[in-house]
Amino acid sequence: MMNDAAVVILAAGQGTRMKSKMAKVLHRAGGKSLIEHAISASLAVAPKDRVFVVVGHQAEAVAAVASEAGVGVFEQKQQLGTGHAVMCGERLLSSLGGILLVVNGDCPLVRPETLQKLVELYRATGSKAAMVTTDLPDPTGYGRIVRMTGGDVAAIVEHKAATPEQHTIREINAGFYCFDAEAFWKHVHEIRTDNPAGEYYLTDMIGILLGAGHRVTALKVEDSTELLGINNKVELAEADRMLRERKVRELMLGGVTIIRPETVTIDMGVTVGMDTVIEPFVQITGESAIGEGCRIGASSIIDNCVIGDGAEIHPFCVLSGSQFDASTHIGPFARVRMGAHLHEGSHVGNFVELKNTDFGAGSKSMHLAYLGDSTIGSKTNIGAGTITCNYDGRKKHRTNIGNNAFVGSNSTLIAPLTIADEAYVAAGSTITQNVPEKSLALGRSRQVNKEGWTPKR
Ligand code: UD1
Ligand code: CA
């Protein structure tokens, strides 16, 4: 990070080609919005209080993401071009000095190292401006890099303004710039709108600084995929795929086994420990943290969960916002949500739903149950078909079950309710009153056998 660097992230445009009601930079790839990607790359080169997002379309929503990340914003009320967008920050930025980086907000794949290299090149060459470029097989739509004999940059010509001969240039401007702040603010008002779009092009600064006798250089990047700019939803899906490919690669190099990695969907914010095995078609999203030596079964969906070492999630589980301690076994076909906490070694089997429930160490609920708003102690067994009736139509109530208790199959537990330690509930009971320690509760009518009834029927 460089303390004399300031960054402006261009994010005021609507992104017409996205054909969406939502501003372009709020669309997501790899589990983060485009603007969040731009902010995290920027924070690798400049301190928080020197990073600014230019907002315009859906300014409030974009500004909310910026302030969540702790960076500044300024507004561009009318989108008069990328040059104009930076000019809108003049009052905030022109006194900062040092270097001014400008980053397109719609390029989520750029690596922080590329921005660092851009600054290094800028400094090493004594330039007043430097930009990132790359060769593209199809450069349509991008600004083209025109080079002088000798190799230095002569100009950036926008696609719309380029001559047929310039259209054949494959080296393009990626939308990442480093300027000498003093020179930039001295000359920025020389940008004119005499181009086919009638806009203030930031790219005109290159010609302007060259005209003032300064040196301009370019960092040409080999891997052009990193510089993909998102203008439509096809490119958005492409960026999403590439970011997730990067993520699974990073996890596999860190010791995670991923079976058929091309089928899994893992967000950037997820961590997974060594020797964990991830089966095909798994989705792990949000800030989920998975321990070492776990198994995540095929097609399970895990959002914002913490999973301890050695846990086994069997196939087809849907888990969100919950914690699973070491050596827990879940599923197949389990649903756990809203702040549930499963303590060490507990088992939850097929077709069991837990909501906001604390499930004690070594306890089991192996089949077909709903356990909501409950606190269940350790080594307790919950029989198949058990339901906590937590909702009376107006309010939610809690069910408390102690340690070493046994709830027989098909029991209906009407909350608020306490079943104390070592108590038994007979199968098929409807329980409405608290059950004391070490007692048996029977909440069902007695069976009557009518002998010889069938022939008389
Ligand atoms: C821009 C560059 C082009 C480059 C390409 C790389 C200019 C004039 N052209 O073109 O040389 O090859 O990026 O992807 O800069 N924005 C604002 N305010 C505005 C206009 C745009 O904030 O008034 C923001 C957009 O929200 C977007 C970024 O600037 O995040 C780039 O704008 P976009 O319209 O996508 O520029 P390109 O035509 O792609
Ligand atoms: Ca663009």
The model's pLDDT over 129-147, given as tens digits with 9 standing for 90+, comes to 999 999 999 999 999 999 9
Could you tell me whether strands 283-285 and 301-303 are parallel, antiparallel, or unpaired per DSSP bridges? parallel
Other CB atoms within 10 A of residue 457 CB: 4
Using CA positions, which residue lies closest to atom 39 of ligand 1?
Answer: 142
Ligand 1 atom closest to the CA of 56, numbered from 1: 22
Pocket mutation for ligand 1, best pick of 10, 109, 203 (most atoms within 8 Å of C-beta): 10
Q: Which atom belonging to ligand 1 lies closest to the Cα atom of 158?
A: 11
Torsion of CA 92, 95, 100, 106, to 10 degrees: 10
Residue ranges around ligand 1 (CB below 6 Å): 10-13, 54, 56, 76, 79-82, 84-85, 104-106, 142-143, 156, 158, 172-175, 201-203, 229
pLDDT band at 152, cuts 50/70/90? confident
**CB atoms < 10 A from the CB of 253, how many?**
8
**Ligand 1 atom nearest to 175, measured from its CA:** 6
167-214: pLDDT as tens digits: 999 999 999 999 999 999 999 999 999 999 999 999 999 999 999 999
Ligand 1 centre to CA of 288 (Å) is 34
* Distant-in-sequence, close-in-space partners of 255: CB < 8 Å, separation ≥ 6: 273, 274, 275
Q: How confident is the model at residue 440 (pLDDT cuts 50, 70, 90)?
A: very high
Distances (CA, A) of 176 to 100, 111, 225: 11, 11, 15
Secondary structure class of 109 (helix, strand, coil): coil
Q: Which residues are found with C-beta within 5 Å of the ion, ligand 2? A: 106, 229
Active site residue 187: no
pLDDT at 193: 96
Residue 149 has pLDDT above 90, yes or no: no
Q: Give the residues across from 40 on adjacent strands.
A: none
Cα–Cα distances in angstroms (integers) from residue 8 to residues 190, 201, 379, in the given order = 19, 15, 57
Rounded distance between C-alpha atoms, residue 305 and residue 318, angstroms = 11
Q: Minimal CA–CA distance to 53: which of 17, 3, 104, 115? A: 104
Q: For a substitution probing ligand 1, which of 82, 109, 138 has the most ligand atoms within 8 Å of its CB?
A: 82
Residue 78 in contact with residue 7, Cβ under 8 Å?
no
Has residue 62 got a pLDDT over 80? yes
Asked whether the predicted pLDDT for residue 3 surpasses 90, the reply is no
End-to-end CA distance of the chain: 89
Cα of 276 vs centre of ligand 2, distance in Å, is 39
Looking at residue 187, the DSSP 8-state letter turns out to be H
- In this prediction, residue 2 carries a pLDDT of 84
Position 358 pLDDT exceeds 80: yes
| Nearest protein CA to atom 37 of ligand 1, as residue | 142
CA of 234 to the centre of ligand 2 (A): 13
- What distance in angstroms lies between residue 137's CA and the mean position of ligand 1's atoms? 20
Ligand 1 atom having least distance to the Cα of 141: 38
Instruction: Output b/e per residue, 427-450; b: 16+ Cβ within 10 A.
Output: bbbebeeebeeeeebebbeeeeee
DSSP element (H, E) containing 180: strand 171-180
Confidence band, pLDDT 50/70/90 cuts, at residue 151: confident
In the reported structure, the alpha carbon of residue 104 is separated from the centroid of ligand 1 by a whole-number distance in angstroms of 7
- Per-residue model confidence (pLDDT) at position 118: 97
Residue 150: is its pLDDT beyond 90? Answer: no
Give Cα 325 distance to the centre of its chain.
23
Q: Is the preceding omega at residue 112 within 30 degrees of 0, hence cis?
A: no
Q: Nearest ligand to the C-alpha of residue 141?
A: 1
- Residue 386 is encoded by which pair of tokens? 């058990």
d(CA 178, CA 216) in angstroms, rounded, equals 10
Question: In 3D, which of 65, 22, 9 has the Cα closest to residue 236?
Answer: 22
Mean pLDDT of the chain: 96
Using left for φ > 0, alpha for ψ between -120 and 50, and beta otherwise, residue 301 falls in beta
Whether residue 1 is predicted with pLDDT greater than 80 in this model: the reply is no
Total-model pTM: 0.91
Listing DSSP states for 290-344 in one string gives E-SS-EE-TT-EEES-EE-TT-EE-SS-EEES-EE-TT-EE-SS-EEESS-EEPT
From 167, 329, 341, 367, active-site residue: 367
CA of 4 to the centre of ligand 2 (A): 27
Looking at all shown ligands, the one closest to residue 143's CA atom is: 1
What's the rounded Cα separation, in Å, for the pair 271 and 329?
A: 20
Q: What percent of the chain has pLDDT over 70?
A: 100
Ligand 1: residue whose CA is nearest its atom 36: 82
How far apart (Å, rounded) are the C-alpha atoms in residues 212 and 232?
37
Q: Which of 259, 230, 265 is nearest to 245 (CA)?
A: 265
pLDDT at 332: 98
Judge contact between 333 and 313, C-beta under 8 A. no
Neighbours of 44 (CB within 10 A): 15
